[in-house]
Amino acid sequence: MIVTFLLVAAFSALITSALTFDKARDAILDRTQSAATDELRAQLDSRAPDLPYPPSTENLLELTVLLDRAGTPRDWRTHISYQDGPLIPAPPPGEPGAVTTALRSAVLRENGAVAQRVSRADGPWLVIGMPILHAGQGAIPTRIVVYAEMSLRGEQADIHALVTAARYGAIPAVGLALVPALVAAAHVLRPVRRLRVGAHRITEGLLDTRIPIRGTDELAALTATFNTMADTIERDATELRRLEAGARRFAADVSHELRTPLAAMVAVTEVLDEDTTHLDPDTAEALRL
């Protein structure tokens, strides 16, 4: 039972740690994503009005440089697409880039900011796609979309620290659970042990065995039932012994009362048996019977 308590405690600690880790991980990533989205929106709101329309490639490159400088604390890297064209600047040679086709389609479909987390060989990345609305045309889409990609390695390190903390926190929790497990097991096993000893004493013939009742729980009720059973067994055994003693006395009395008449009858039959030679054949045969 102690092992069961420990397994339950370990499982509970594991579930609690897993839920805590899941919530903390989501909170870290959501906070980073929300802050980066707000910062990118603020940068575009301040710089987009100065962007010539329709823009040239040089205009778009200049905007990415300004955005990269402004995003230095977040260390993001920006790209711009115009009329769903290629990214400007293009990803470095040999790198697939974090901007996926699914993200570009989602931005055009939603006509609003869309964030996506992707995994690459160098770790997890957050990519934000945000369209620029031309200020002079009543928020009409310009088909200019800015994409900002930033590494989440720092957040991943924080999450790994949470995993380590949860793991090392679960071990003391299981150790602390050992104390209440021992107390609870003793509380449950001690009455069961008393019941086992009492049942063994009754099987040995000690029918006056009774177990003290402690508490008001189910084990106390079971103990009371055991005592009632022992009372019934002792009462029935006493009654059987009384009946057996009465039967023995009756047999002894009958034997005593019949002893004298039977002795007389035996003596008479012996005398008659000796005199059968002097009697007629029919009478002698009757006496022999």
The whole-number pLDDT of residue 249 equals 83
pLDDT digits (tens, 9 = 90+) for 49-101: 888 878 888 999 998 888 888 866 667 888 999 988 888 888 776 666 788 88
Q: Which carries the bigger pLDDT value, residue 110 or residue 178? A: 110
pLDDT digits (tens, 9 = 90+) for 136-191: 455 556 788 999 988 888 887 877 777 777 667 666 766 666 677 677 767 777 77
Q: 237-283 pLDDT, tens per residue? A: 888 888 888 888 887 777 777 777 777 776 767 666 666 666 666 66
* Chain CA centroid to CA 142, Å: 54
Alpha helices by DSSP H, listed for 48-100, are: 57-70
At 136 the pLDDT is: 47
Give backbone dihedrals phi and psi of 111, rounded to 5 degrees, phi first. 55, 40
- Mean pLDDT, to the nearest integer, of 202-222? 83
Q: Which residue has the higher pLDDT, 21 or 207?
A: 207
Q: Say what the pLDDT of residue 147 is.
A: 93
Query: Alpha-carbon distance 60 to 143, whole Å?
Result: 13
pLDDT band at 1 (very low <50, low <70, confident <90, very high): low
Sketch out the chain's domains with CATH numbers: 2-163 (3.30.450.20)
Q: Using CA atoms, how far apart are residues 55 and 110, in angstroms rounded to an integer?
A: 23
HEC profile of 107-144:
HHHHCCCEEEEEEECCEEEEEEEEEEEEHHHCCEEEEE
Q: What pTM did the predictor assign?
A: 0.54
Cα-flanking dihedrals φ and ψ of residue 92, to 5°? -55, 150
CB 127 within 8 A of CB 113: no
Alpha helices in the chain (DSSP H): 2-47, 57-70, 101-110, 153-203, 218-274, 281-288
Q: Answer yes or no: are the C-beta atoms of 213 and 224 closer than 8 Å.
A: yes
Of residues 285 and 216, which shows the higher confidence score? 216
> How do residues 18-59 score in pLDDT, each as one tens digit?
666 677 777 888 888 888 888 888 888 888 888 887 888 899
